[in-house]
Chain A
Amino acid sequence: MNRGIAITGMGLISSIGNNVEENLASLTSNKTGISRITQINTVHKNDIMVGEISQTNDMLEKKLGLAPNSYSRTPLLGIVAAKEAIAQAGISNIKDCKTGLISGTTVGGMDKSEQYFYDYFESDDHWNHINGLHAGDSTQKIADALGLTESFVTTISTACSSSANAIMLGARMIKAGELDRVIVGGSDCLSKFTINGFKTLMILSDTYNTPFDENRKGLNLGEAAAFLVLESDEIVLRENKKVLAYVKGYGNANDAFHQTASSENGDGAVLAMEKAFQTAGIEPSDIDYINAHGTATPNNDLSEGRSLIRIFNGNVPEFSSTKAFTGHTLAAAGSVEAIYSVLALQNNIIYPNLGFKTPMSEFDLVPETILKHKEINTVLSNSFGFGGNCSTLIFTKEA
């Protein structure tokens, strides 16, 4: 076994809660965050359902002490989540050791760009948002809000695996001794851009998404931000920190099959999981729970299901997708589900895969459908994205 990287803080805002505790309460009481969209005026509002965070930008800006309409929603959500993570990790001086920030995003400031795309030419009222289109701009704003200066700060955008990859890079940086502490995760807000984009791919469900169900109709988009604090063993020891769990294994691979779809047999997913087992130095049989990518699109769930059967040699452990709670939060999904994985370890629970009724005809995989209590020591979490991007993370209770 190889030694894991310590997780000492977590912060999360999603449609099922404004912090980690609220998220856990929703997950353990079957409370979904899927609803009709209220904050974006889209012509598709009656055809789609989303995982929308109830707090408006105004409310978030007030909470953060910012003037109205100063930031895109992506950094606003990101700052809320990152600050919660820092607080939990008990960090009072972020510069007391070599600290970095790695964030994942796909939309960045697109919510504002699409709103003022032509207005910019009419008046200078919203020119503060022009440079926000850069994906890196949201990361910069999060770094500023945390007081992180003269530091390693970067952004990863690999579609729906972005924040899983941010966690992976962070773990590698600490392992290599390049950083003592790193804040890793991602943030993505809902936007017309992604709503219409996924609509053109005809993979949006018009009702509640039902991962791994035979009659699944596609995904619900969601919005979220989630960050974790990773720290080196030296820092943990020096400050006698409480470790929540460990990033034990990680792997990224490319499906190299299609621009948006996953290969029929989930080749990329199998490779990513194989690599994760390798870095963790554990066997598939050590996994107690799988938090699947499970977007509820016909293609993902079939491909992922097949990859699970392949890698676990037919003996797939208990699994579920939490996307029926949150919707698909794109770049943030990997870090949202990383936190859910840690909560599963801490509380010895497996979350229900809401909405599941009928097993898929292609195989006999049945996800957990009610909250289950069980000793959990090792959790595997998958995240897949456009461009064939496949990532797997493994979290453990013990180092």
Chain B
Amino acid sequence: MSNLKLELKEKIIEQLNLEDVSVDEIADNDPLFGDGLGLDSIDALELIVMLDKDYGIKLADPKEGRKIFESIDTMAAYISANKA
């Protein structure tokens, strides 16, 4: 699980071009959207593609993403439970 979390942080930084953010700066329970990492709705769509491409999980409704992408913790838990 902790490997998955590290992997997710690396992928988020790369996929979303967060050049000035390092893996250590993202705590597992930090909110990814809003006040935390400051991601927005377009980032959410990027993360949905990442779930599909890298973990074989398809979301049909972008609204589903909101809960899943709350933090690295929630993302990792969702991926572990639903990985194809």
Say whether A2 faces chain B, with CB atoms less than 8 Å apart: no
Give CA–CA (A260, B43) in the complex, Å: 13
Query: What A residues does B84 contact at CB under 8 A?
Result: none
Q: Please determine whether A259 and B62 come into contact, CB atoms closer than 8 angstroms.
A: no
Give CA–CA (A248, B42) in the complex, Å: 38
* Minimal beta-carbon separation of B17 from chain A (angstroms): 15
How many residues of A sit at the interface, in one of the four size bands?
A: under 10
Q: Please determine whether A200 and B41 come into contact, CB atoms closer than 8 angstroms.
A: no
Give CA–CA (A201, B44) in the complex, Å: 10
Query: What A residues does B48 contact at CB under 8 A?
Result: 202
* Minimal beta-carbon separation of B47 from chain A (angstroms): 12
Query: What A residues does B42 contact at CB under 8 A?
Result: 259-260
Query: What A residues does B49 contact at CB under 8 A?
Result: 200
Query: What B residues does A200 contact at CB under 8 A?
Result: 45, 49
* Minimal beta-carbon separation of A56 from chain B (angstroms): 33
Q: Please determine whether A261 and B45 come into contact, CB atoms closer than 8 angstroms.
A: no
Q: Among residues 38 to 65 in chain B, which have CB atoms less than 8 Å away from a CB atom of chain A? A: 41-42, 45, 48-49, 61-62
For chain B, the count of residues having a C-beta within 8 Å of the partner chain is 7
Interface string of A199-232 (1 = CB under 8 A from B): 0111000000000000000000000000000000
Main secondary structure of the interface of A (DSSP, over half): loop
* Minimal beta-carbon separation of A303 from chain B (angstroms): 14
Using CB atoms, name the residue of chain B closest to A258. Answer: B41
* Minimal beta-carbon separation of B54 from chain A (angstroms): 16
* Minimal beta-carbon separation of B44 from chain A (angstroms): 9
Q: Please determine whether B45 and A202 come into contact, CB atoms closer than 8 angstroms.
A: yes
Query: What B residues does A202 contact at CB under 8 A?
Result: 45, 48, 61-62
* Minimal beta-carbon separation of B16 from chain A (angstroms): 15
Using CB atoms, name the residue of chain A closest to B59. Answer: A202
Give CA–CA (A260, B42) in the complex, Å: 9
Query: What A residues does B45 contact at CB under 8 A?
Result: 200-202
Using CB atoms, name the residue of chain A closest to B60. Answer: A202
Give CA–CA (A203, B2) in the complex, Å: 34
Q: Please determine whether A261 and B62 come into contact, CB atoms closer than 8 angstroms.
A: no
Give CA–CA (A201, B62) in the complex, Å: 9
Q: Among residues 278 to 331 in chain A, which have CB atoms less than 8 Å away from a CB atom of chain B? A: none
Interface string of B29-42 (1 = CB under 8 A from A): 00000000000011
* Minimal beta-carbon separation of B61 from chain A (angstroms): 8
Q: Among residues 254 to 287 in chain A, which have CB atoms less than 8 Å away from a CB atom of chain B? A: 258-261
Give CA–CA (A202, B51) in the complex, Å: 14
Give CA–CA (A231, B60) in the complex, Å: 49
Give CA–CA (A260, B41) in the complex, Å: 10
* Minimal beta-carbon separation of A196 from chain B (angstroms): 12
Give CA–CA (A260, B40) in the complex, Å: 12
- Which of A201, A202, A259 is packed against the most chain B CB atoms within 10 Å? A202
Query: What B residues does A258 contact at CB under 8 A?
Result: 41
* Minimal beta-carbon separation of A98 from chain B (angstroms): 45
* Minimal beta-carbon separation of A63 from chain B (angstroms): 41
Query: What A residues does B41 contact at CB under 8 A?
Result: 258, 261
Using CB atoms, name the residue of chain A closest to B44. Answer: A202
Query: What B residues does A259 contact at CB under 8 A?
Result: 42
Give CA–CA (A201, B45) in the complex, Å: 7
Using CB atoms, name the residue of chain A closest to B48. Answer: A202
Query: What B residues does A260 contact at CB under 8 A?
Result: 42
Using CB atoms, name the residue of chain A closest to B41. Answer: A261
11 sample A-B contacts, Cβ–Cβ < 8 Å, listed by A number? A200-B45, A200-B49, A201-B45, A202-B45, A202-B48, A202-B61, A202-B62, A258-B41, A259-B42, A260-B42, A261-B41
B contacts, CB < 8 Å to A: 41-42, 45, 48-49, 61-62
A contacts, CB < 8 Å to B: 200-202, 258-261
New contact pairs (9) apart from A202-B45, A202-B61, CB-CB < 8 Å: A200-B45, A200-B49, A201-B45, A202-B48, A202-B62, A258-B41, A259-B42, A260-B42, A261-B41
Sort A-B residue pairs by CB-CB distance and give the 3 closest, nearest first. Answer: A202-B62, A202-B45, A200-B45
